[in-house]
Amino acid sequence: MKLPIVSAACAAALFAAPVRAETPFVPHTDAEIARLTEYRGPARSEEILSIWRGLFLGMPGHRAFAVSPDGAFGTAWSHASREKAAEGALKYCAAREAKAKRENACAVYAADAEIVHPGAAYALREISFSVGDFTSGPEYFYRGPERAKGVIVWQHGKHGTIDQRKGAAYPIVNRLNLAGWDILRFDRDPDYDQLWWALSHLESSLPQLKALGYKRIVLAGQSRGAIQSLHILENAKAAPLVDAVLATAPAENGTGSASVLSAPDEWRQTVERLPAAPRIAIAFFGKDPYNPQAEEKAALARQAFAARGQAAVVIYENDPRMLVRKDADGNPSGHYGAATREFTDKYADCLEAFLDTGAKSGACAAF
């Protein structure tokens, strides 16, 4: 069976230039958000609605969603371009059609923040603004300081001289955005990305978020982005501005088992220096070359937080489905476990509830 392609009209709409917002920052309205989040395509089954929300809206870009008239579907995310995401979604949709022994044409319904389906076409207004060193992202809904639950600042990791600015954030960030949080990014030039530099810029930018009117600030990050989210809590000026931290695979640098925080005693000193006020969620993973004693470090963190009555969730995961990226020797690595669909499906809802209210529910209740 030939792979169905997008019509010329759909292709033109799919890859049109995004709509840019006028400055100053004007939040999305509820109606704008509803136009993108409400699925209005064919075959509106419970399964389609679940996939639409979880595996399209809840995933980072570039992303695409394809569907056939009788309900076959395909999704793709974290691609280098919208075109590649569209190709992937169509391929998976066509495979489901073939498995069902049908030959109905699949078509792209949506890509990134745009619906291209005839009769439902809509492009979410792109909002572009910055607050200090924090910048917006084109795939997120922005409710603004008055309507959002708060703002989450995502911080990528550090891997030598590789430039990770504008790279896709983790799926859990999209899920938190769907739940009502605005998302900003702290992107850092690898040529200047030293820990002291990052902490200095966090210190100067966090007050500007408060001045803008955001009620709550959550720092979230992966690897180096995670550890600097924790270290900034040692800053007496910045710490009172932070309501919660979400740190996945926290590590100081990119030198594998020689990581500065690989030793449990140094990690113990780090967590014991943290203030007791913010809610803290940390996720460690097995087979992490930057955290070779991850399970022990998770236990030390739980012990330190419990001793001072801190609201905390400290996860240790050794699920093979979350240990999928390879290390330098080609072995499974858990360092990027939080980027997996499995981690997101298991923990996104309970971590959102914890960041929002401090409640330890669902999978988080075990920690």
Average per-residue pLDDT in the chain?
88
Return the H-helix or E-strand segment holding 108: strand 107-111
| Residue 2 resides in a domain | no
- Note whether 248 and 264 are same-domain residues: yes
- Domains: count for the chain: 2
CB-based burial of residue 345 (10 Å sphere; 0-12 exposed, 13-18 middle, 19+ buried)?
A: middle
Q: How far apart are CA 66 and CA 44, in angstroms?
A: 13
- Residue 158: what pLDDT? 78
- Note whether 65 and 147 are same-domain residues: no
| Residue 178 resides in a domain | yes
- Residue 265: what pLDDT? 73
The last residue of one of the domains, among 90, 123, 156, is: 123
- Note whether 65 and 150 are same-domain residues: no
- Note whether 52 and 190 are same-domain residues: no
Peptide bond into 24 cis (omega under 30): yes
Q: Which residues span the domain enclosing 246? A: 130-366
Contact by Cβ (8 Å): 175, 352: yes
Find how far residue 273's CA is from the centre of its chain.
27
| Residue 320 resides in a domain | yes
**Dihedral sign (CA 212, 215, 217, 218):** negative
- Note whether 75 and 117 are same-domain residues: yes
Q: How far apart are CA 141 and CA 119, in angstroms?
A: 22
Q: How far apart are CA 367 and CA 360, in angstroms?
A: 8
Residue corresponding to tokens 């280098």: 80
Between the CA of residue 356 and those of 10, 66, 94, 359, what are the distances in Å? Answer: 39, 33, 40, 8
- Note whether 108 and 164 are same-domain residues: no
- Note whether 210 and 326 are same-domain residues: yes
- Note whether 155 and 280 are same-domain residues: yes
Tell me phi and psi for residue 126, to 5 degrees: -80, 130
What is the DSSP track for 207-249? HHHHHHT-S-EEEEEETHHHHHHHHGGG-TTTGGG--EEEEES
Residue corresponding to tokens 């007050």: 207
- Mean predicted confidence (pLDDT) in 29-48: 95
- Mean predicted confidence (pLDDT) in 31-54: 95
Q: Which of 61-65, 171-175, 245-249, 269-273 has the lowest mean pLDDT?
A: 269-273
Q: How far apart are CA 292 and CA 289, in angstroms?
A: 5
pLDDT tens string 150-194: 999 999 987 666 656 677 789 999 999 999 999 999 998 888 888
CATH number of residue 304's parent domain: 3.40.50.1820
In percent, the amount of the chain with pLDDT more than 90 equals 74
The last residue of one of the domains, among 99, 123, 147, is: 123
| Residue 79 resides in a domain | yes
- Mean predicted confidence (pLDDT) in 247-274: 70
Instruction: State whether residue 316 is helix, strand or coil.
Output: strand
- Note whether 142 and 232 are same-domain residues: yes
- Residue 19: what pLDDT? 39
| Residue 209 resides in a domain | yes
The last residue of one of the domains, among 92, 108, 123, is: 123
Q: Which of 86-90, 258-262, 285-289 has the lowest mean pLDDT?
A: 258-262
| Residue 3 resides in a domain | no
- Note whether 269 and 333 are same-domain residues: yes
| Residue 138 resides in a domain | yes
Q: How far apart are CA 25 and CA 22, in angstroms?
A: 7
- Residue 252: what pLDDT? 72
- Note whether 238 and 313 are same-domain residues: yes
- Note whether 135 and 105 are same-domain residues: no
pLDDT exceeds cutoff 60 at 3? no
pLDDT exceeds cutoff 90 at 10? no
- Mean predicted confidence (pLDDT) in 208-213: 95
The alpha-helical segments, DSSP class H, found in 148-185 are 171-178
| Residue 189 resides in a domain | yes
Q: How confident is the model at residue 131 (pLDDT cuts 50, 70, 90)?
A: very high
pLDDT tens string 303-328: 999 999 999 999 999 999 999 876 65
